[in-house]
């Protein structure tokens, strides 16, 4: 493992440390600072010539997280690393994957181009908002799923009379996969989106009266969709409602909405840094460090990673915070 190096920017160093723990390697030494005018400055302190280097950096807001990723990749490439892999647990801008109205960019494609042009030879990520975003990259993409981590947690709770649900028809595939793992039925909250972060639930498809419901999603941003779906489920007679999501973006008053939503437990992973409030009930945070660490190990030793792509393959166990 001497030729394997893991580096991180300032976006989520705690996750990078956990990944290194699973791999049994020390986190690579690098500094990320600012010039007096605010420009980002990076410097790698380790000799990386001929190494297999990995940069762990989610691209959540602010935009400087993305800039740090690009500069670290470029730095490692110019320092003669043999290969540089961008490990982006949360790929920001993924929801801007098409022109849904006139005169808007396809931001996900632009960010994909930037990562490749910076010098990354490979991309490793978890639960892209739309799987087809993989096609935006001109480099290999290893797209992992957090379903094994989250499903293992809900299995440990011993939930009975369970139904999995999604807050829109786009999440049916994910909800069905959780249902398959947990032996649960399926329900769909049909909603109409009024604008970014604004939606109105319309009606419920499926039977939830008297049942425990697991509401699944890939991203919780403003929590508007989740809160509205939970309301519809309660109005339909659902019992305890659990929420499981991969990425906890939690912007604006999302935390307050979830606390007020009479939700039994909100479970997310540590793909991006989370606010301190998520250390308290009803929140639970699971780590994806084991999943990412295993993928990095396989890539480094030129072993198959494809079985980790499958949502039904068992992955890392959860780590509560």
Has residue 82 got a pLDDT over 90? yes
Is residue 68 scored above 50 in pLDDT?
A: yes
| C-alpha separations of 128 from 89, 133, 136, 146, 256 in Å | 9, 7, 12, 11, 26
Q: pLDDT tens digit string along 109-131?
A: 999 999 999 999 999 999 999 88
pLDDT, average across residues 189-212: 76
* Predicted TM-score (pTM) of this structure: 0.92
**Average predicted confidence (pLDDT) for the chain:** 92
Tokens of 163: 């139904």
Average pLDDT over every residue of 253-279? 96
pLDDT at 314 over 50: no
Backbone angles phi and psi of 193, in degrees to 5? -85, 130
β-bridge mates for residue 186, sequence order: 164
pLDDT(180) > 60: yes
Which domains does the chain show, CATH number per domain? 4-144 (3.40.50.2020), 147-286 (3.40.50.2020)
- What is the distance between the alpha carbons of residues 15 and 29, in angstroms, rounded to a whole number? 15
**Confidence check: pLDDT of 321 > 50:** no
Which residues carry out catalysis? Answer: 191
| More confident: 225 or 49 | 49
Looking at the predicted structure, is the pLDDT value of residue 190 above 90? no
Backbone angles phi, psi at 232, to 5 degrees: -60, -40
pLDDT at res. 198 = 59
């Amino acid at each position: 493992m001497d030729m394997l190096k893991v580096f991180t920017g300032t976006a989520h160093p705690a996750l990078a440390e956990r990944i290194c723990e699973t791999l049994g390697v020390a986190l690579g030494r690098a500094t990320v600072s600012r010039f007096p005018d605010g420009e980002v400055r990076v410097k790698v302190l380790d000799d990386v010539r001929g190494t297999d280097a990995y940069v762990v950096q989610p691209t959540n807001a602010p935009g400087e997280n993305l800039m740090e990723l690009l500069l670290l990749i470029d730095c490692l490439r110019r320092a003669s690393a043999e290969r540089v892999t961008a490990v982006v647990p949360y790929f920001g801008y993924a929801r801007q994957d098409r022109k849904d109205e006139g005169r808007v960019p396809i931001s996900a494609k632009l960010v994909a181009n930037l990562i490749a042009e910076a010098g990354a030879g490979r991309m490793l990520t978890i639960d892209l908002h739309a799987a087809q975003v993989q096609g935006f990259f001109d480099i290999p993409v290893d797209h992992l799923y957090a379903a094994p981590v989250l499903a293992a947690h809900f299995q440990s709770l011993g939930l009975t009379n369970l139904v999995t649900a999604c807050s829109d028809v786009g999440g049916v595939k994910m909800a069905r996969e959780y249902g398959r793992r947990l032996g649960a039925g399926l329900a769909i909250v049909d909603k109409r989106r009024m604008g970014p972060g604004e939606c109105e639930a319309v009606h419920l498809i499926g039977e939830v009266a008297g049942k425990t419901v697991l509401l699944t999603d890939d991203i919780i941003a403003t929590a508007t969709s989740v809160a509205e779906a939970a309301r519809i489920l309660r109005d339909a007679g659902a019992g305890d409602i659990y929420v499981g999501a991969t990425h906890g973006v939690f912007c604006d008053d999302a935390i307050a909405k979830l606390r007020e939503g009479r939700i039994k437990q909100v479970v997310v992973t540590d793909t991006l840094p989370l606010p301190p409030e998520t250390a308290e009930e009803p929140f639970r945070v699971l780590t994806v460090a084991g999943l990412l660490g295993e993928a990095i190990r396989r890539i480094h030793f030129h072993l198959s990673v494809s079985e980790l792509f499958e949502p039904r393959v068992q992955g890392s166990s959860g780590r509560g915070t």
